[in-house]
Structure 1
Amino acid sequence: MGYVQKVSNGTSNARWREPDGRLRSKAFDLERDARRHLKLRESEVIRGVYVDDRAGKVSFAEWAEHCMAIYEKKLSRTSYARDRSYFDNHVLPKWGGVRLNRITKAEVERWVADLADLGHTKRAKGGTLAPATIERIYQVFRKIMKAAHNDDRIPKLPCPDHPPIARKKRKPVRFLDEGEVAHFASCIDPLYESTIYVASYGGFRIGELFALRLNDVDWTRGTIRVDEGLTDVAGVLEFEQPKTDRSFRSVPIADLALRKLREHIEATTGWDDPGALLYTSRQGAVIRPTNWRRREFADAVKAAKLEPLTPHDLRHTAASLFISAGANPWMLAEVLGHSDTRMIDRVYGHLFERDREDLRRPMSEKAERAAGENVLAFMDHRRQA
């Protein structure tokens, strides 16, 4: 148990033992303040929520750099580069000099409101930060604070799971139909014609698309395997494993796309090297996705009069084509490499309306039939009675 000790200079020391048995003390001018503090600390020890206040006096910047060093080893290059950018540009300028134990929920909410405030943080073109961007910034900050809480540096996490911001209505994603896919493919340089078909009927991310190799194609089963991706971080290109286990996958591909791919291989890649990349630059080098999008894809979009269109919209296109061919949400999540169906429901849920009607119709017919049969059975029973 703790106690209050009077000191010769007139102050009072509150003395208590921490959960590990170490004796701690704190001086107060008034005895009643010392007793109040002692009661609080003993209550925290009993309830299992005791936190050494000295651990929370470290600055956010000092603790955050420790966390970011760990995240750099755990995250993929692209994920870490993204988080580091959010940290350097938005999190550190606000919280860097603040002690961990001085960060409150009210201040966090005010910071999020400032990020969302019109004109407070602007892009080059004058627009405000999108809610999704604020969410990512906030999660970088929350992850660091959660680590501090787990390390017993702060008694309570001042950050809810999600930032307190109004979510804007999600913009509908862009899909091409089969005719538009063929038209768009005819507008890009013939060297890359098959990329449009493979992306539109396979749903590959652009980094996955340009990491595909000859031995990834199973011509017998009509599938393409994904087991690596191409990343471009700070100008450095690297081939890396996918970020999640579900990203390792085998994707069924339409015969048309496989035929276009075979024509491309015969005209450019050849069949000699099983590990050869399916797509390379005009000079035979690894394609830098950002350059390809700017130099090849953007010109084709203009020529096809399909603005605005991004390479990721071809992934959405593949999703819509898979759904129209009968894929259910679980199957779609598997072929697109999502860990669960939440993203599928949020982005493509409206495309399953036909499936809901197909489900409702036979269910209604069976219900009507069963009800009618029960009525006939009841009438027969009455007659026999």
Structure 2
Amino acid sequence: MGSVTPYDTAAGRRWRVRYRTPEHVQTDKRGFTTKRDAELYLANVEISKASGSFVSAAAARVTVGELAAEWLANKQQSMKPSSYHSIAVSWRVYVGPRWATTPVGAIRASAVEQWIRQLGQGTAVTHKSGGKTVPAAQARPRSATVVLRALGVLAGVLDMALKDGRVPKNVARRTEGAPRKVSNKPRRYLSHAEVARFAAAAATPTQRTMIVLLAYCGLRWGEAVGLQVRDLNMLRRRLQISRTATEVDGKILVGAPKSWEKRAVPFPAVLAEPLAHLCEGKAPDDLVFADRFGQFLRRPKTSAGTSSWFLDALVASDIERLTPHDLRHTAASLAVSSGANVKAVQRMLGHKSAAMTLDTYADLFEDDLDEVAERLDEGARRANLADVWARN
């Protein structure tokens, strides 16, 4: 149990609280103007020690930046390079400029909510490449994705502080005012005829085969360009997805597929000959889709004001602007329209669960409800269920 003792100062009598931390280290806090305030503080200390929520003043003084260095090192060890890159950039550009020098014990929920609002409005201080500070007056509003990622980084660092007993709770979790990600972009599904027209407009066999592969197999770009000759089973018409080649800061990083899960993806017979042609004269470790130097194909630019072979083919085929990832949506649509069930689509796309596939492509399965009702009606008619209402 601690003690409360008085001492004299030039400003008058003050009170000191002496107590031991859970680690049995004696410490004190001085400056209380009344004995009652000192006794209340001591009571709170004893209660927090008993409940396991005690936080020492010294532990709470560690800064967000000091903990972030360790947190980021852990993330770099456990995450794929492309995923780690996004949170490292978020820390450097958005989180660090605001919180790096702030003690974890001094962060209040209201301050976090204000920061979230400022990021969304474009009034938060940020950094750009090279570490130069961007004044609030020159900042611009950030998207919900950017804001939520920054908030997640801060919350992750404070999770570490909570585990270490440096804060009693994580004020960055369950904050008010966090934006919601809402996409206003309508999802575009190409028909078989549009895929054929799009592929025919491409300039080279490699480009044409890539378009059809993305539209019919649902591979992510990194999975497609990471394919090696050994990954093709021409007899069973299967693609073995065991790695992905992701471009990060202009460099291609090869790693495990998304969610770390390997999978086999079927490809239609129409792709057998074009794929075989791309593999001619290549060794098992060679890339199926390669540039003229035998290196990884770079993702074609598709944003407004840019140019690429992908955009040229879209213009030539009179199809509105799409991205390579949009062809993944087309693959899901064509699979469902061909009669594939949700589990088959899940496995093809590499989703973690069928629930995720349904959440992502719920609109594609709406017609299935009509089919269910029709089949139920057929069964009911065979059982003469209508006779139930014919009875007196």
Instruction: Tell me if both proteins adopt one fold, taking TM over 0.5 as the criterion.
Output: yes
**What corresponds to 1:57 in structure 2?**
61
Q: Measure how far apart 1:116 and its partner are.
A: 1.7
| Percent of residue pairs bearing the same amino acid type | 27
Deviation at 1:90, TM superposition (A): 1.1
For residue 281 of structure 1, the aligned residue among 291, 300, 322 is 291
Match of 1:208 among 208, 216, 223: 223
Query: 1:323 and 1:137 mapped to 2: Cα distance?
Result: 36
* AA partner of residue 6 (structure 1): P
Query: What is the match of residue 34 of structure 1?
Result: 38
Q: Equivalent of 1:12, from 10, 15, 21?
A: 15
Moved more, 249-258 or 283-292: 283-292
Q: 1:306 aligns with which of 319, 323, 346?
A: 319
Partner of 2:106: 102
Change (3 A) 1:245 1:284: closer
Q: 1: distance between equivalents of 2:268 and 2:324?
A: 19
Alignment partner for residue 236 of structure 2, among 203, 213, 221?
Answer: 221
Residue 109 of structure 1 and its aligned partner are, at CA, apart by 1.2
The answer on whether the counterparts of 2:311 and 2:321 sit within 8 Å (CA) in structure 1 is: no
- Please tell me whether residue 346 in structure 1 is matched to residue 359 in structure 2: yes
Q: TM-score, normalised by structure 2?
A: 0.85
Query: Greater share of helix residues, 1 or 2?
Result: 1
Judged with a 3 Å threshold, the aligned counterparts in structure 2 of structure 1 residues 88 and 261 are, in CA distance, closer, same or farther, namely same
The change in CA–CA distance for 1:134 and 1:282 in structure 2 (over 3 A counts) is same
Q: CA deviation at 1:8?
A: 6.0
Q: CA deviation at 1:272?
A: 5.0
- Displacement of 1:33 in angstroms is 2.0
Partner of 1:111: 115
Q: Aligned residue for 1:136? A: 149
Contact 1:197 1:260 in 2 (8 A): no
Seen in structure 2, the aligned counterparts of structure 1 residues 335 and 127 have a Cα distance that, compared at 3 Å, is farther
Give the alignment's Cα RMSD to 1 decimal. Answer: 2.7
Match of 2:266 in 1: 252
Mark the runs of 5 or more structure 2 residues left unpaired by the alignment: 129-138
Q: Does the Cα contact within 8 Å between 2:240 and 2:265 map onto a contact in 1?
A: yes
Mapped contact 1:201–1:321 kept (Cα < 8 A): yes
TM-score normalised to structure 1 length:
0.87
Q: Which is further off, 43-52 or 208-217?
A: 43-52
Secondary structure, aligned partner of 2:112:
helix
- Show structure 1 runs of 5+ residues with no match: 380-385
CA contact 2:148–2:178 (8 Å) conserved in 1: no
Partner secondary structure for residue 325 of structure 2: helix
Whether the 8 Å CA contact 2:300–2:309 is kept in 1: the answer is: no
Instruction: Please say if residues 60 and 103 of structure 2, whose CA atoms lie closer than 8 Å, have aligned partners that are also in contact.
Output: yes
From the superposition, tell whether residues 288 and 22 of structure 1 become closer, same or farther in structure 2 (CA, over 3 Å).
Answer: same
Q: What amino acid sits opposite 1:3 in the alignment?
A: S
Amino acid paired to 1:250:
A
